[in-house]
Amino acid sequence: MTWTVASFTDLLDSEFPPRWAEPWDRVGLVTGRPEQPVTRVLAVVDVLPSTVAEALDTGADMIIAHHPLLLSGVSSVAATTYRGRIVHDLIGNGVALYVAHTNADVARPGVSDALADLLGLTDTRPLRATEDGRGFGRVGSLPAPLTLGEFAHLAAGALPVAGWGVRVAGDPARPVATVAVCGGSGDEFIPDAVAAGADVYLTGDLKHHRVADLLAAGGPALVDAGHYATERPWLTPLAAWLRTATGLETIVSDTTTDPFGFHACATLDPVA
């Protein structure tokens, strides 16, 4: 079969229907002529100059991204901003761009399934479910109980975490058996993790006061592994599915787009 942007978009829309996306989200096809052939695909978390350069270097003519390039309304795509330059680079080089964001978050399998699988969770279910059984986040069980300290080291070793590793709130000796996870910014789902009876909740972008309040109230432990690190695992099963469904070469981006590249301690030298 010869794949085109139109047929590839139809395939992705069937797996991650745009109607599943949140009302504020912007998903689906961003650039690309419908009749344009698709021969090689690059899967990325973020559409940035570095990942677009990777697409051009690898000869990809389709990018599938998790985060939207144009989330807010724009009145110009002039090449005077980095987003405008990206649009010009994509169109000028015949590279189509497709975004699956919150519609991929709630899909089953979706972003949080990949995160849960990487941590070895079993018997998973949505953390905040929709009526049709989809939903944000996942909650499941570890194969065997761990301490919070052991679980934190498991997460740090399994996930592509930033230079500062993972941040942990809670007693390192606390037993952990039931785990809740959410890829990306999962701060708003803390009440769902509490209601699910989770011993620990792992996500990204946790806020100071929410964490402090939860610990003071005797809630679950919290692990902040970062936004990028909790969403990057999804690219691997996504690429595997696309290879099976299309027969096309699908590359998972090697470019780390976490903006936090290192952390600094009390010494003067940065720690990579």
Binding residues for a divalent metal cation: 66-67, 105, 227, 231
Phi, psi of 54 (to 5 degrees): -65, -40
Q: Tell me which residue of 156, 124, 122 sits closest to 142, measured CA to CA.
A: 122
Cβ density class 49-79: b for 16+ within 10 Å, e for less: eebbebbbeeebbbbbbbbbbbeeeeeebee
- Residues 20-46: b if buried by 16+ CB within 10 A, e if exposed: bbeeebbbbbbbbeeebebeebbbbbb
